[in-house]
Each structure stands twice: as structure tokens, then as C-alpha cells.
Amino acid sequence: MLRSIKALVLFGLFLCLPLGAQAGHSHAHQGPVASVSEAELTAQARDTLRLIKQGGPFPFPRDGAVFGNFERRLPKQTRGYYHEYTVKTPGARNRGAQRIVCGSLPECYYSDDHYQTFRRIRE
């Protein structure tokens, strides 16, 4: 009796999980990422992209840090493939929400909402 109650409880918990989590890939990357042309980026994002292409120097200590892609919003790659860079946000007292994340150049992505969404930067 106790065994069947445990089984029912576990099954009920399983049903409450989002569909992707039931399959074992919660927040998995879902198809192609939207894109944005370099010309459509803000002036600050274009400045950051220029610094990335020339290898720095970067204004923020975290620029160039490994981006883990834990939410899997970008295509799956090995750990250490992606690196993040801050896009200066006018009027912000901190780093703000804008980032550029790059793999092997020219593969770079722009996020204006602190990694919630990404757009691949087209040259």
C-alpha cells in the first residue's frame, strides 16, 4: 500500500513538470536564434563589437569571461567556447543588461535583456 502511494505521489510530481523537463532537456535550445545586423545595433553595441574584434582593451573587468550558456539559449558548444562582453548602457550605474556573447569570430550574439533572449549579429 505504501509503495503504491509513493508511486502515485512521484507520478503526480512528474506530471507537474514542464514538458521539456519531463524529457530531460529543460530550457533546451529551440532552433535558430533570431538575428540583427551590425548596422542595426546601438552605437554602444557597435563599439563593444569593435573592441572584441580588435582584442580589447575592455572597460569592464568581467569582459571576456566565459559565458556558461546554462539556460541553453545559444547553440550547444563545449564549456569555454562562449565569452561575454558588456555593452555600456547610457545612464546605468552598473553594467546594465546589454551583452554581446561570442564564440569563434564572427559568431557573436546580442542580448539587451541580460541573457533572456539573443540575436545573432550579422556582419
Residue 85 one-letter amino acid: Y
- 84 is annotated as an active-site residue: yes
| pLDDT of 19 above 70 | no
Asked if 64 and 41 sit in the same domain, the reply is yes
| pLDDT of 53 above 50 | yes
Asked if 91 and 104 sit in the same domain, the reply is yes
Per-residue confidence (pLDDT) for residue 32, from 0 to 100 = 58
Asked if 18 and 45 sit in the same domain, the reply is no
Asked if 54 and 91 sit in the same domain, the reply is yes
CATH code: domain of residue 75: 3.10.450.30
Per-residue confidence (pLDDT) for residue 91, from 0 to 100 = 85
Asked if 94 and 44 sit in the same domain, the reply is yes
| pLDDT of 35 above 90 | yes
Chain centroid offset of residue 34 CA = 13
The structural domain count of the chain equals 2
Stretch 46-64: mean pLDDT, rounded? Answer: 96
Q: Which tens digits make up the pLDDT trace of 62-111?
A: 999 999 999 999 999 999 999 999 999 988 888 899 999 999 999 999 99
- 25 is annotated as an active-site residue: no
Closest CA to 45 of 101, 87, 94: 87
Calculate what percentage of the chain has a pLDDT beyond 90. Answer: 64
Asked if 53 and 106 sit in the same domain, the reply is yes
Q: Is 102 left (phi over 0), alpha (psi -120 to 50) or beta?
A: beta
Full domain range(s) for residue 102: 31-122
Out of 27, 40, 71, 114, pick the active-site residue.
Answer: 114
Per-residue confidence (pLDDT) for residue 123, from 0 to 100 = 84
Out of 40, 84, 107, 123, pick the active-site residue.
Answer: 84
